[in-house]
Amino acid sequence: MTEHRIKSRFLYHYLHDPSAIIGSVLMVVFILAALLAPVLAPQNPYDLETVSLANFLQPPVWMEGGQAPFWLGTDDQGRGIFSTMLYGLRTSLLVGFSVVAVAGTFGVLMGLLAGYYGGWIDVVTMRLADTFFSFSTTLMAILLLGLFKERGVITVVVAICIVDWVRYARTMRGSVMEVKQEAYIMAAKATGAGDVRLLFKHLMPNAIAPIFVVVAVDLAVVIMLEATLSFLGVGVPITQPSLGMMIAIGKDYVYAGMWWMVLFPGAVLILLVVGINLFADWLREELNPKIERNA
Amino acid sequence: MKNVLLKLGIVFCLVLMATPALAAADLVVAVDTPPRTMNPHGSDADANLSVMANFFDGLLQLSGGEFKPALAERYEHPDLLTWKFFLRKGVTFHNGNAFDAKDVKFSFERLSDPEVSEFTNTGKSIDTIEIIDDYTVVIKTKEPIPWFANNLHQIFIMDKESTEARDPGEVGQKPIGTGAYKLVEWVKGSYLRLEANENYWEGAPPIKTVEVNPITESSTRFAALVSGKVDLVTGVPVELYDKVAANPKLETINRPARRAIFLALGNAPGAPAADIRVRKAIYMAIDEDEIVEKVMRGQATPTAQVPDPATIGYNPDLQRYPFDPAKAKALLKEAGYENGFEITLAAPNDRYVQDAQIAEAVAKYLAKVGIKVNLDVKPKSVFFPEVQEGKHDFYLIGWLDGAFDMGRTYFNLLHTLDKERGYGTWNGTRYSDADIDRLLQSTTHIVDQAERAKTLQELNKLAMTDKIAWIPLHYQQDIYALQKAAQVKFVPRADRWMVYKEISK
């Protein structure tokens, strides 16, 4: 099978899978919205000089009392919900991609080493992974954030990375153990390839496929985790926009009939996570030869 | 095996049958803050004292805004340092032990032990406690404390025998007092059940069983009220006030709270805020009326000082500096901060009504005159220890004086920190001003209430108008909601304590 044919098979499957298309379109829309936030948002809700309490608790623009440019209403501090959501998306995606990049790289490396060498490095990595997995990641992240004095996006990223890398390490290790037995690895060894060459030229490229699925699934998990932490008040500080924090602020007003403060950020968070998951599902089916495709 | 299962099944059924019977208390209340301990000296927080006041009595009690006899029938104050108490006879503790002078001596001595007491300031201010006979005690203070008696409603008397016999852990779980109620059950974080003390010295209270549910989450508290699960809630959240007031089944009771919310601002030499013009600029940049209207939803009253009208030292002539951002900018320019400066505002986010939101609003106002404010908002469990350690030089805090004497508040909050003498323990910004200290020191020898009031009012004016030692914001409003159908006769107290013997049906 040539490279070209593999690509076109991918494309064919993708174009014939509506959920993959919906998922990826959602992702692209949200990523663009986040990137273009300063252009799209009518207001910078975290520039204290321009936000005014005078605009507080306004309903969405189509309701009585709503007014432009606060399309989706405002919160208790006079921040536009629409603008805050765009900036909040930035935080969500920034945390999501940073964690996936940092925890992913570290986890993959540890998994590679553990799978290839075995011995103490394997024991240490995997027992560590078992320990981490035996606690809920949310709980672990809260404990870690409690230990850090400073609050901010970086702190949240670090805390989530610490609990998250084991996912990658485990998957990578399993995959490496399998690939390690293959004849071409034996062959490479026999021809006298060094460890570094073996690890990065032969093992990694052939064992990495399952990691792509983990990346896609994990992105959604991390975004949800950041929102959860911020909702609970241990995530980003109140001076940073966050979808989780918006929901936390808004929930106190739900009984007062001001639903827009919770509904819109909640819907965006759900759509974002659903989009990523739909795409991840498709990717998993596509990359896993064991699953029979119906299409 | 079968037998065991059968027995378990029977027990389970019995428990199921018993639960509804237990849950039906005469009065079910939801409060906004849970008690931390059942040790009456273990916490000086209102939320704790409020619960303790039902299990214990002080030498005096505060009722209808006045100090009245409780475990002491009367007292004498022959000289500046001496307080002589004549105790009530025939009072017994919940365990049957008789109350007498040795319990009073024991309780006051216990105050100095930081392991079990948050009233160490009071404890350390006492020189000697002398038992004259079983029902007469003389307390001598080290220095004159004009407000000593005004504090006695919150210094609860414990049973010497049972407190010494039990380990501190159990003392903190099972209160044994002389109070109108006995504790039946305390499930931490869930509920407390109280049962009337039929032998109470004032006569048994009208309501026989009370269930107290601490529900910290305001929307959950609201849900409990609307669904009819509770008869009475404290701390109705301001954002839901309109909704509660409009509900025909519910009744709301508002009363101006004693607590004032204000900003403490340090004056360390070299800091921008050491300049009185900067202090004034910060004051004038804040639109307090808008905070009251928008953040507090109208449930607060702007104030120009910290003590409330009931406190000695409240000065009715004080006026707020007007909101005037242009003037504030001009003042900053004059002080050499034309381009502003950066400052960190700390605040709790789970202690006062809309605390974090007020801090956010303040940050916004200050940004508009060029002062960049970093917000450091955190839970009270982290915030308050940090304040006491002196970590913050600009923070939002609330205060009310439990002893109704501004002198006590000022010694605690504004006097230059002096750890040895116990001054300035809550002066977290380490604010220091020689004029204020001097005038404050001079008040300790004034016992005559009218003269005291005059000097303290003068001090209040000096601190608020001339020195801007604090930036006062507003008095909170206490909001309660009741089920109309429960027909509870309830008059809220100024100190927010829930004293169930005062409530009837």
Whichever domain contains A202, its CATH number is 1.10.3720.10
State the pLDDT at residue B16: 46
> Per the domain annotation, does A295 fall within a domain?
no
- The pTM score is 0.80
pLDDT, tens digit, 9 for 90 and up, residues B308-336? 998 999 999 999 999 999 999 999 999 99
How many CB atoms lie under 10 A from the CB of residue A207? 26
Planar angle of CA B263, B298, B377, nearest 5 degrees: 35
At B198-231, the pLDDT tens digits run 999 999 999 999 999 999 888 888 889 989 999 9
Contact state of B239 with A76 under an 8 Å Cβ cutoff:
yes
Q: Are A216 and A129 in contact (CB under 8 A)?
A: no
Q: Of A40 and B18, which is predicted with more confidence?
A: A40
Higher pLDDT, B269 or B18: B269
Model confidence pLDDT, tens digit, residues B105-148: 999 999 999 999 999 888 999 999 999 999 999 999 998 888 89
Tokens at B331, concatenated: 């003042």
Nearest CA in chain B to A254: B219
Set out the domains of chain B in order of their start, with CATH numbers: 57-168 (3.90.76.10), 258-476 (3.10.105.10)
Please tell me which of the candidates B237, B360, B374 has its beta carbon nearest to residue A252: B237
B295 contacts on A by Cβ (under 8 Å): 53, 76
- Report if residue A246 sits inside a domain: yes
* Per-residue pLDDT at B250 exceeds 60: yes
What backbone phi and psi angles, to 5 degrees, belong to A249? -65, -45
Give me the residue label for tokens 């986010």.
B349
What integer pLDDT is reported at residue B378 of this predicted model? 87
Most confident of A177-186, A245-254, B248-257, B281-290: B281-290
Q: Tell me how far apart the alpha carbons of residues B90 and B430 are, in angstroms, rounded to a whole number.
A: 48
Q: List the pLDDT tens digit at each of the 295 positions of chain A.
A: 456 666 777 888 888 889 999 999 999 999 999 999 999 988 888 888 888 888 888 899 888 888 888 889 998 888 999 999 999 999 999 999 999 999 999 999 999 999 999 899 999 999 988 888 888 888 989 888 888 877 789 999 999 999 999 999 999 999 999 998 889 888 988 888 888 888 998 899 989 988 998 999 999 999 999 999 999 888 888 888 899 999 998 988 888 888 999 999 999 999 999 999 999 988 888 877 555 444 3
Nearest to A256 among B223, B239, B377 (CB): B239
Query: Interface of chain B against chain A, CB under 8 Å?
Result: 218-219, 222-223, 237, 239-240, 242-243, 287, 290-291, 294-295, 349, 356-357, 360-361, 363-364, 367-368, 373-377, 379
Q: What percent of chain B clears pLDDT 90, i.e. is strictly above it? A: 75
- The reply to whether A294 falls in a domain is no
CA-to-CA distance for B444 and B426, rounded, in angstroms?
19
Write down the ipTM of this complex: 0.76
Q: What is the 3-state secondary structure (H, E, C) of B300-366?
A: EEECCCCCCCCCECCCCCCCCCCCCHHHHHHHHHHCCCCCCCEEEEEEECCCCCCHHHHHHHHHHHH
pLDDT at B189 over 90: no
User: What's the pLDDT score for residue A8?
Assistant: 78
Quote the minimal CA–CA distance from B364 to chain A in Å.
5
Identify all chain A residues contacting B367, using CB atoms and an 8 Å cutoff: 48-49
Beta bridge partners of A49: none
In this prediction, residue A290 carries a pLDDT of 57
Closest CA to B89 of B44, B143, B26, B134: B134
Is residue A293 one of the residues assigned to a domain?
no
pLDDT of B13 reads 47
Residue span of the structural domain in which A103 resides = 3-45+55-287
CB contact under 8 A, A252 and B349: no
Tokens standing for residue B123: 């404890």
Question: Is-contact B155 B58, C-beta < 8 A?
Answer: yes
Please check the confidence at residue B15 and state whether its pLDDT lies above 50.
Answer: no
Contact list, B237 vs chain A (CB under 8 Å): 252
Q: B307 with B313: CB under 8 angstroms?
A: yes
Angle between helices A18-35 and A3-15 (to 10 degrees): 90
The neighbour count for residue A286, using CB atoms within 10 Å, is: 19
- Number of folded domains in chain A? 1
Separation of CA B346 from chain center: 20
| Cα A101 from chain centre | 10
For the sheet with B136-141, list strands across it. B72-76, B82-87, B136-141, B126-133
What three-state secondary structure class fits B86? strand
Judge whether B107 and B156 are in contact, CB under 8 Å.
yes
Q: What is the pLDDT of residue B230?
A: 94
Residue whose tokens read 């607060």: B300
Quote the DSSP letter at residue B417. P
Quick one: pLDDT at residue B17?
44
Beta-carbon separation of A77 and B361 below 8 A: yes
CB contact under 8 A, A51 and B364: yes
A237/B377 CB distance under 8 A: yes
Cis amide leading into A69 (omega within 30): yes
Contact B375 A255 (CB under 8 A): no
Q: Which of A76, A233, A257 lies at the smallest CB-CB distance from B357?
A: A76
Average pLDDT, chain B: 91
pLDDT at B4: 52
HSE (CB half, 13 Å, CA atoms) of A273?
A: 18
pLDDT at B104: 97
Task: Name the 3-class secondary structure at B249.
Answer: coil
Give which of B204, B263, B186 is closest to B471, Cα–Cα.
Answer: B263
Residue A50 lies in a domain: no
- Please tell me which residue of chain A has the smallest CA distance to B379: A233
pLDDT at A65: 83
The average pLDDT across B437-443 equals: 94
Task: Report d(CA A236, CA A240) in Å as an integer.
Answer: 6
Mean per-residue pLDDT, B426-451: 92
Both tokens assigned to B87: 């105790």
